Structures are given as structure tokens and as C-alpha cells.
Amino acid sequence: MRYVSTRGQAPVLDFAEVTLAGLASDGGLYVPEHWPNFSAEEIAALAQLSYAQVAAKVMAPFIGDAIPQADVERLAQEAYATFHHDAVVPFTQINEKHFIMELFHGPTLAFKDVALQFLGQLFNYLLERQETGLTIIGATSGDTGSAAIHAVAGQDKSAIFMLHPYGRVSDVQRRQMTTVLAPNVFNIAVDGSFDDCQAMVKQLLRDQSLSQKSPLSAVNSINWARVMAQIVYYFTTAVAMGAPHRAISFSVPTGNFGDVFAGYVAMKMGLPIERLIVATNENDILHRALSTGDYSTQGVVPTITPSMDIQVSSNFERLLFDLSDRDGSQVADIMTRFAEEGAMRLPKQWLDKARQVFSSHSVTQDETSATISWAQDHANMIIDPHSAVALAAAHACADQVSSPIVALATAHPAKFRDAVERATGTRPALPHFVGDIFGREERFAHLPADINAVRAYISEHMA
Ligand SMILES: *Cc1c(COP(=O)(O)O)cnc(C)c1O
């Protein structure tokens, strides 16, 4: 498979290149040159297979001959052996129409592990076959940093430098990063905000004094391989629930649009998905875009679902590219205008096309809390606030859908214990395998929000 940029001007890359690359050189995102297609027989045959085997089959057309199929299956097996549930991504039925799919059984208790555990294996595999190593530099306000660190900890050919704002991530989130003592993991606590961290990372990734020493990469959500690994659970769940013979819908708690875009790709590949519900919190740019065509930024409101507190959803550009019939110059025009004005209107034909597949709903924090307590009372389940946003949107959109709706549960309730405790009166316990992080040694550098200090630290410690 070859990969093209959504803005049409960057070089075409192969799978290995696109996995190690970040943003395309024209500012766009890489997407496969075409969507592969699975026949009904091929989909039905997945029912016999394990999660790792389905992963290898679903990802095969995207990886092509870059990695032999048996190796892909082995990488998937290793990636998902770190999950604390035999099914990897199990699901349960709540009532006649509603189901929940649990994506939080990985090492850091959030769905980012599903993609990043596999990406860590891929990096290792690809780097072993080339001379140079890789230096990963990222900024985190919580979830992504710990999932990325756990994905590459202990590997010889990569090092990871993760910046977080000092004193502004929760104790659990910080310790999930700083108690990983592998020699290739470097946590940097910065005296500043998350935005300061992110601004420095953008500058560092372009810094030639660093990139001369080692290729640099970000493990952010624009990485194509992350989206690819997320397509798999749409297939495993749909097939377990009767695909290809029965249609299914999904409600997805959405921030950067990576997760729900993976569902869209699954549909393009032939999975019988009736509807994808884009569930947002009060930061509702995507709900406004998909319901009225108004794609405009309004500043971020902090909520009890911090992983969805976004201003702009980077992966939305991948959908726009498809809606434009893959017209890179039109996407480039629109995105340039959006960058300048912070606002644009989706062309009517694009909006009509999007609404054939996507519904959307914005959920307030009160509704989120009410849904957490509803799940406790009516389904005897304790769910986290992000999962509650998905479930609330599934309820709100239920009359638009005739198939069963699966809400994606993206975090373990113990990861967002304060909000869960406020809604239910009970404080969820951390699973035993993370419970001892409060007794473990922490290691991190504490630096001022000064690019020179951070650059010097990275330069000194990089491989
Ligand atoms: C990242 C994240 C999301 C949002 O997923 P996107 O792919 O960015 O849309 C939702 N819930 C949790 C818990 C997350 O960590």
C-alpha cells in the first residue's frame, strides 16, 4: 500500500516510511491511496480467529509486503499480551439495544494503549531492520504520555522524551509515567502549562541540532498506524455480534477524531456499520460541524472528560479528504483558510455525504454524571466519564438507528476516580497491577519552561 497526503503536495510514502514519519511535508496527514475491501465471506471467516489473528488480517492490506503476515500476527500477539483481559477488547450488553465495548484493559487503563502497544512493537520491528534509531519527543496532559512510554519502554533503538506540565497532571497520571525506570525513558516536568510543553515540542521536532543526531518522531494521533490499529476492534465486535449478516452502530467519545475515523475506515472496508455517532462533551466543534456545517473554534472549556477537551480535531482532515473525493488542493485551500480565520463552512455536498454515515451529539457535564449513575442503577456497571459521554449520545441518537448501538468505553473508571465518585458515591479502586505505583520510585527531570534548557537536556541524553 502507498500513502498520499490529504493536501496532495507531499511525496508518496510506503508503509514503513509512513509509520516513522509525522505530519506530511505539505502540512497534511497521510492516508492510504485507496480503501481495501473485504467480502462478506472474508468478514464471516474472522469469527473463528483470536484478536491478534483478526488484527493481522484487518491490517494486512495496509501493511502490504512491508512486513510478512506471520510477523504482523506475532507483533499483535506481543502487543495484546500486555492486556489484562483474555478477549483484549470485551463487550457487554446493557439492555435490548445498547452495548458497551471495553477498550481500557491495557497497561495504562485507557484506550490509547490499543494503538500504542501495537505501534511500539512496529517501531521496534522496523528499527531493528535499519541502521538508525529513533528519538520520540512528545508533550502530554496525561493519557497519551503514559501510553506512549509504556509502548516503547525498554527498547534499544528508541528513546522517548515526554514533557508534562509540573504539578498539573494527576498523581496517577504522573506516576504512570515517572515510575517507568527503563533507560530509554526520559520524563521532563516543565514549570509551565501544557501549551508551553506542546509549543516547545513543535520547535524541538524541527531542531536540526537534534535531528542531525537521530531521526525525530512524535507519537501523536496523526500517526496513520495508530488509526490502523484501531480499525481492528470495530471488526472483532461487529463480527461477534453477527456481521456480515447483521448491521451495527457505534457511539464514540471523540476528541481528535482518530477513534471514530477508524470506525469510518472499517465501514469503507465493507463492515456493515449503519451509523457512527460522534459523541462530544461541551467542546462541541465536531457536533456543530456535522450538524450544521459550522466548523469554527471557540476556545477550550475544561470538563470532567479531559481527554476530549480539544479545540481542533486533527484527524478530521482525513474525513474532509474523503468527502472532497480525495481532492488535495481543495482540502489544502480549506485548511489554510481555517488556519487563518479559525472558522470555515463545510460545503453542502460534503455535509450531506458525512451525514449519511455520522450522527453527532454534544453531552453536558451534568448529563455525563447522570449517565454514570444511570449505568450503575440500570446496568450495575461503573463507567468512566468518557464512556458515559458515548453512552449518553447513544441514548440520545437511538431513534435514528435500527441496529444495536455499541458505546465505546475508553477509560477505566479508576482513571477518573474523582468524577466517578461524585456521580456514584463510590471511589473505584485501581486494578492491582497499577495499585502499587504509589509505592514505586519516581524519576523525572524538573526544568524551567525554557527551550534552551530542554534542548540541552535532550541533546545530552539522546542515544
Ligand atoms: C484520547 C481519548 C479519547 C478521544 O479519542 P480520539 O481518537 O482523540 O477522538 C476519548 N477517551 C479517552 C479516555 C481518551 O484517552
- Give tens-digit pLDDT for 211-270: 999 989 887 778 999 999 999 999 999 999 999 999 999 999 999 999 999 999 999 999
Average pLDDT over residues 287-293: 96
**What is the 65 CA–ligand 1 centroid distance (Å)?**
31
Which atom in ligand 1 lies closest to the alpha carbon of residue 384? 13
**What is the 250 CA–ligand 1 centroid distance (Å)?**
15
Domain range annotation of the chain:
91-109+224-424
Average pLDDT over residues 110-118: 95
What DSSP line would sit under 189-236, residue for residue? EEES-HHHHHHHHHHHHT-HHHHTTS-EE---TT-HHHHHHHHHHHHH
463 pLDDT more than 80: no
Does the CB atom of residue 227 touch ligand 1 within 6 A? no
Question: Distance between CA 1 and CA 428 in Å, rounded?
Answer: 44
Q: How far is CA 153 from CA 308, 337, 356, in A?
A: 26, 40, 42
Choose among 174, 103, 17: nearest CA to 387: 103
Three cell numbers, residue 20: 516513522
Question: Which SS3 state, helix, strand or coil, does residue 420 take?
Answer: helix
User: Whole-model pTM?
Assistant: 0.95
Give the domain 91-109+224-424 fold: Rossmann fold (3.40.50)
Question: Which SS3 state, helix, strand or coil, does residue 100 take?
Answer: strand
Catalytic annotation on 353?
no
Does the CB atom of residue 411 touch ligand 1 within 6 A? yes
- The DSSP H or E segment spanning 448 is strand 445-448
Question: Distance between CA 201 and CA 207 in Å, rounded?
Answer: 10
**What is the 267 CA–ligand 1 centroid distance (Å)?**
20
pLDDT digits (tens, 9 = 90+) for 75-106: 999 999 999 999 999 999 999 999 999 999 99
Of 57, 97, 112, 202, the active-site residue reads: 112
Does the CB atom of residue 404 touch ligand 1 within 6 A? no
CA angle 207, 124, 134 (to 5 degrees): 10
Does the CB atom of residue 143 touch ligand 1 within 6 A? yes
pLDDT at 141: 79
Assign 202 a pLDDT band (cuts: 50, 70, 90): confident
9 pLDDT more than 90: yes
Does the CB atom of residue 111 touch ligand 1 within 6 A? yes
Q: Which residue has the cell 450531506?
A: 352
Average pLDDT over residues 392-409: 98
CA angle 45, 103, 389 (to 5 degrees): 120
195 pLDDT more than 90: no
**What is the 443 CA–ligand 1 centroid distance (Å)?**
27
Does the CB atom of residue 254 touch ligand 1 within 6 A? yes
